[in-house]
C-alpha cells in the first residue's frame, strides 16, 4: 500500500450485559483503530444528559489521558475513530458530535463522505443554520434535528432522502442507539450480539474482541434501532448500482473481519491465488508487504509453488508514515517503518506482493531497500487493478493526475520503480476472488464507474426544497 489512508470506524451499543459499556466501547474502538488514527471519542448516556469524551490521537492515548470515568455505568454508548476525509484535524472536528434538539440530545458518528455536502451546507446556511464544524457529520445532524417527523426512524429516513454519498452512522438519543447504512451500501456496517445486548460496528472484528457473535450485516438503506425492547429494523429503498467498496476487501478492513458475508482474509488469499494463475514469474521466494498484502502473498505462494517467506519487518510502534515533500526524509520514514531481513533476500529472486500502488513513492523505496540488501531480482505483483480514479466516498485518494496508475503504463511504471517485472490483477478476477456471486461492488477507483451520477448529485438540494414548501402550506 502506498500512501492511501483509511476512512473512519464507528461503534454503538445498548448494553444489557455485565460488562460496562465504556469498556466495551474502548476495546471495540481499539479493534477498529486501523480505520482512523487522527482522533477518537465516545458518548454515553443512561437516559439523562449525555457524557462525551473526545480528543486528537489514538484510542489508548485519548482515554489514558482523559479516563473512562464519566462514561462508566451507562447503558447507551457510541464511539468513533477518525481519519479526516472532510474537515480539519482538531478536537472540534473529532466525533461523536453532540447537539441538543427538541427531543433532548442527539449524538452522532459517521464513516463516509457526502457528495452533495457543499450544496446542502449552502442551502442550510441560507436558511439560518449556524455550523460549528466543517464536517459532513454536522450536516447530517442538522437535517435530522430540523425534521418534523414524529419518530427518530422517520427523521432519519427524511435525512436519507436528502443526502447523496456514503455513510455508516451510529446515533444515540436518550432512549435508543441507531445504526444506519447508506442506500448504496458503500460503507460497511454490521450487527453483533452478546447475550441480550445488541451492538453495531463498522467491522465484525469489533465484536470478536468483546466475545460477541456476529449476527449479520446491516443492509443497504437499512436503519437499525436498539432499545430496551430489543432490536428493530426499518427499510428504505435500495439505490440502483448499490455495492460495497471493493477496496475494503483489498486493503481497508482487518483480515479477520467479515463484510457482507465474505471473510476478508479469504478474499485476499484468493486474490493472490488468481494473481499467480495469470501473472507467473520465476522467483526463489514470495513475500508480502505488511500487513494488508500478507494474505495475498500467501495465496500466491500456495498457487505458484514458490516458497513463502517474510522479507520485510514492520515496526509496530510507528504510526502512519508521514508525508513530507523532501525525498530524503520520505525515504527515512519508510525505512523507519519497514526493515529488510537481509539473509532472506541476499542472492535471491524476490517476488513481492502488494495490495495496491497509489503514488508509487513507497514502492520505489522498498524496491531499492531490497536491492541494497542483496536481492538478485525484484519482481512485484499487485493484488488489485491500477488505481486510476479518485474516491469520492470517504477515502483520500488523490486526483488522477497524482495517481501513478493513471499517468503511466505498466511498463513505464516498472521502469520508474526499478523492478525486473510488474503486473496487476484484473478487475473481473478481483471481483471473482471476493465472491463467486455477482453481488455488485463500488469499483470507481479502478474503472471510474461511480454508483451515482456525481455531477447530477453534487448540487442536489431538491428534496430539501420540496420539504420546505410542504411545511409552508
pLDDT tens digit sequence for 404-454: 889 999 999 999 999 999 999 999 999 999 988 767 899 999 999 999 888
Compute, in degrees rounded to 10, the torsion defined by CA atoms 193, 197, 203, 207.
-70
Nearest alpha carbon to residue 186 among 170, 167, 169, 171: 167
The full DSSP string for 243-305 is -EETHIIIIIS-TT-EETTEEHHHHHHHHHHHHHHHS----SEEEE-TTTTHHHHHHHHHHH-
The pLDDT confidence band at residue 89, using thresholds 50, 70 and 90, is low
**How far is 113 from 91, CA to CA, in rounded Å?**
19
* Phi, psi for residue 232 in degrees, rounded to 5: -135, 155
Nearest alpha carbon to residue 206 among 80, 121, 370, 317: 80
Amino acid 324: pLDDT = 40
4 and 397 Cβ atoms separated by less than 8 Å: yes
- Interval 222-281: pLDDT, tens: 999 999 999 999 999 888 888 899 999 999 999 999 999 999 999 999 999 999 999 889
41 and 53 Cβ atoms separated by less than 8 Å: yes
Amino acid 321: pLDDT = 43
120 and 464 Cβ atoms separated by less than 8 Å: yes
**How far is 208 from 257, CA to CA, in rounded Å?**
9
H or E segment to which residue 180 belongs? strand 177-181
C-alpha cell at 450: 461511480
**HSE of 103 in the Cβ direction (CA atoms, 13 Å)?**
21
Between the CA of residue 381 and those of 99, 204, 430, what are the distances in Å?
A: 48, 29, 13
Dihedral (CA of 297, 299, 304, 309) sign: positive
Once rounded to an integer, what is the mean pLDDT over residues 105-131? 92
**How far is 199 from 208, CA to CA, in rounded Å?**
12
Q: Please give the mean pLDDT across all residues of the chain.
A: 89
> Is pLDDT at 95 greater than 90 in this prediction?
yes
Once rounded to an integer, what is the mean pLDDT over residues 370-386? 96
The pLDDT confidence band at residue 325, using thresholds 50, 70 and 90, is very low
296 and 271 Cβ atoms separated by less than 8 Å: yes
Domains along the sequence of the chain with CATH: 9-243+457-472 (3.60.20.10), 264-436+439-447 (3.40.50.2020)
C-alpha cell at 370: 531490497
230 and 47 Cβ atoms separated by less than 8 Å: no
**How far is 271 from 384, CA to CA, in rounded Å?**
8
Dihedral (CA of 307, 310, 312, 318) sign: positive
High-pLDDT (> 70) share of the chain, %: 91
Amino acid 328: pLDDT = 57
3-state helix, strand, coil in the chain (%, to 5): 35, 25, 40
* Phi, psi for residue 240 in degrees, rounded to 5: -65, 150
Spot the catalytic one: 8, 40, 190, 460: 8
Amino acid 333: pLDDT = 74
The answer for residues whose C-beta is within 8 angstroms of residue 419's C-beta and 6 or more apart is 367, 378, 379, 380
> Is pLDDT at 379 greater than 60 in this prediction?
yes
More reliable by pLDDT, 64 or 95: 95
For residue 405, with 0-12 CB atoms within 10 Å meaning exposed, 13-18 middle and 19 or more buried, which class applies?
buried
Amino acid 468: pLDDT = 62
High-pLDDT (> 90) share of the chain, %: 70
Once rounded to an integer, what is the mean pLDDT over residues 315-337? 60
C-alpha cell at 433: 476472488
> Is pLDDT at 88 greater than 80 in this prediction?
no
Amino acid 460: pLDDT = 80
**How far is 390 from 358, CA to CA, in rounded Å?**
10
Amino acid 320: pLDDT = 45
**How far is 17 from 24, CA to CA, in rounded Å?**
10
303 and 329 Cβ atoms separated by less than 8 Å: no
> Is pLDDT at 51 greater than 60 in this prediction?
yes
The pLDDT confidence band at residue 101, using thresholds 50, 70 and 90, is confident
The answer for residues whose C-beta is within 8 angstroms of residue 457's C-beta and 6 or more apart is 115, 116, 164, 165
- Interval 182-234: pLDDT, tens: 999 999 999 999 999 999 999 999 999 999 999 999 999 999 999 999 999 99
Nearest alpha carbon to residue 360 among 393, 395, 398, 329: 398
The pLDDT confidence band at residue 471, using thresholds 50, 70 and 90, is low
Amino acid 102: pLDDT = 77
C-alpha cell at 186: 458503500
457 is known as an active-site residue: no
Amino acid 83: pLDDT = 79
Amino acid at each position: 500500500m502506498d500512501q492511501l489512508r483509511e476512512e473512519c470506524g464507528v461503534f454503538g451499543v445498548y448494553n444489557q450485559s455485565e460488562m460496562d459499556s465504556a469498556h466495551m466501547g474502548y476495546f471495540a474502538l481499539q479493534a477498529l483503530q486501523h480505520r482512523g488514527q487522527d482522533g477518537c471519542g465516545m458518548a454515553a448516556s443512561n437516559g439523562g444528559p449525555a457524557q462525551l469524551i473526545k480528543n486528537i490521537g489514538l484510542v489508548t492515548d485519548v482515554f489514558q489521558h482523559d479516563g473512562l470515568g464519566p462514561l462508566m455505568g451507562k447503558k447507551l454508548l457510541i464511539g468513533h475513530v477518525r481519519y479526516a476525509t472532510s474537515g480539519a484535524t482538531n478536537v472540534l472536528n473529532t466525533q461523536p458530535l453532540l447537539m441538543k434538539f427538541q427531543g433532548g440530545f442527539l449524538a452522532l458518528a459517521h464513516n463516509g463522505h457526502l457528495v452533495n455536502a457543499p450544496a446542502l451546507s449552502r442551502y442550510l446556511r441560507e436558511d439560518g443554520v449556524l455550523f460549528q464544524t466543517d464536517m459532513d457529520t454536522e450536516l447530517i445532524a442538522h437535517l435530522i434535528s430540523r425534521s418534523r417527523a414524529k419518530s427518530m426512524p422517520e427523521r432519519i429516513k427524511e435525512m436519507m432522502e436528502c443526502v447523496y454519498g456514503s455513510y455508516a452512522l451510529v446515533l444515540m438519543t436518550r432512549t435508543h442507539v441507531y445504526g444506519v447504512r447508506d442506500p448504496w451500501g458503500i460503507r460497511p456496517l454490521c450487527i453483533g450480539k452478546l447475550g441480550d445486548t445488541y451492538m453495531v460496528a463498522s467491522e465484525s472484528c469489533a465484536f470478536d474482541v468483546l466475545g460477541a457473535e456476529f449476527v449479520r450485516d446491516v443492509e443497504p438503506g437499512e436503519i437499525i434501532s436498539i432499545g430496551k425492547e430489543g432490536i428493530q429494523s426499518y427499510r428504505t429503498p435500495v439505490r440502483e448500482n448499490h455495492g460495497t467498496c471493493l477496496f475494503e476487501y483489498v486493503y481497508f478492513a482487518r483480515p479477520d473481519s467479515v463484510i457482507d458475508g465474505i471473510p476478508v482474509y479469504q478474499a485476499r488469499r484468493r486474490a493472490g491465488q488468481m494473481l499467480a494463475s495469470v501473472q507467473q514469474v520465476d522467483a526463489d521466494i514470495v513475500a508480502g508487504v505488511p500487513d494488508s498484502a500478507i494474505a495475498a502473498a500467501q495465496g500466491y505462494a500456495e498457487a505458484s509453488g514458490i516458497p513463502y517467506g517474510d522479507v520485510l519487518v514492520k515496526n509496530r510502534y510507528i504510526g502512519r508514515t508521514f508525508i513530507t515533500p523532501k525525498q530524503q526524509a520520505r525515504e527515512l520514514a519508510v525505512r523507519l517503518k519497514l526493515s529488510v531481513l537481509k539473509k532472506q533476500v541476499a542472492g535471491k529472486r524476490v517476488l513481492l506482493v502488494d495490495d495496491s500502488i497509489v503514488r508509487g513513492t513507497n514502492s520505489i523505496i522498498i524496491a531499492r531497500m531490497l536491492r541494497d540488501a542483496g536481492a538478485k531480482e525484484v519482481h512485484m505483483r499487485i493484488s488489485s487493478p491500477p488505481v486510476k480514479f479518485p474516491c469520492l466516498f470517504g477515502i483520500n485518494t488523490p486526483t488522477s493526475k497524482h495517481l501513478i496508475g493513471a499517468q503511466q503504463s505498466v511498463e513505464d511504471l516498472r521502469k520508474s520503480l526499478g523492478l525486473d517485472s510488474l503486473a496487476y490483477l484484473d478487475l473481473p478476477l478481483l471481483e471473482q476472488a471476493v465472491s463467486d456471486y455477482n453481488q455488485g461492488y463500488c469499483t470507481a477507483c479502478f474503472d471510474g464507474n461511480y454508483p451515482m451520477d456525481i455531477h447530477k448529485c453534487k448540487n442536489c438540494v431538491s428534496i430539501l426544497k420540496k420539504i420546505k414548501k410542504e411545511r409552508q402550506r
